Each structure stands twice: as structure tokens, then as C-alpha cells.
């Protein structure tokens, strides 16, 4: 398993329930074949530029270990979600 980091930005006008449901989906997806070892709610922040008519979004950051297949499933989850504005998944430095 490789170490990865992901950050995703959700729409600012969603309910807390919707946001927590998405986070729960992400946690379940990763935990099925891997493990989350750090998770941070970075809160509501102003975006550097407008994305789909939004100037603010909720930022969340996760560090996890997972096989590549789970990363591809996570990418599809982000792409198919109507509340995710932006996301990034990177392979982390394994010396951490």
C-alpha cells in the first residue's frame, strides 16, 4: 500500500448533514482496503478564484494508506459528486 494525501473543497451552501455524509462515504471507501492516519477539517475558506459561481468552500484534508484501486474509486466518487468543487489526490512522500 502507498501513502496518499487528498484535499477536497465542497460547496459553501450545502448542509452540515450533506457534508458529513460525503466525508463518511470517503472514510468508508478508504477504510475498506486501507487506513486513514490523519484527517483535518480546515473549515470554510475564501477561494482564490471563482469556481462554478462559488467564492467560498469547505476544505477537508486526509492522509491515508491505500492500494491504487481505492484511489481510483475515490477519484470517481469526487468526479460524480455534485457538491465537490475541486479535489486533489497525490502520492505522499513515503519517508514521513
Give the Cα separation of 33 and 72 in Å (integer).
Answer: 12
Please measure the distance between the N-terminal and C-terminal CA atoms of the chain and give it in whole angstroms.
14
**pTM tops 0.85:** yes
Give the Cα separation of 78 and 73 in Å (integer).
Answer: 9
Average pLDDT of the segment spanning 71-82: 95
pLDDT at 95 exceeding the cut of 70: no
* Rg value, the chain, Cα: 13
pLDDT digits 0-9 by tens, 23-73: 999 999 999 989 999 999 999 999 999 999 999 999 999 999 999 989 999
Amino acid at each position: 500500500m502507498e501513502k496518499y494525501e487528498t484535499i477536497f473543497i465542497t460547496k459553501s451552501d450545502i448542509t452540515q448533514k450533506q457534508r458529513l455524509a460525503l466525508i463518511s462515504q470517503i472514510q468508508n471507501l478508504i477504510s475498506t482496503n486501507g487506513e486513514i492516519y490523519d484527517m483535518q477539517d480546515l473549515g470554510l475558506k475564501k477561494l482564490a478564484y471563482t469556481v462554478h459561481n462559488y467564492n467560498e468552500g469547505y476544505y477537508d484534508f486526509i492522509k491515508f494508506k491505500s492500494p491504487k484501486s481505492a484511489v481510483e474509486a475515490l477519484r470517481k466518487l469526487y468526479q460524480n459528486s455534485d457538491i465537490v468543487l475541486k479535489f486533489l489526490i497525490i502520492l505522499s512522500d513515503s519517508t514521513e
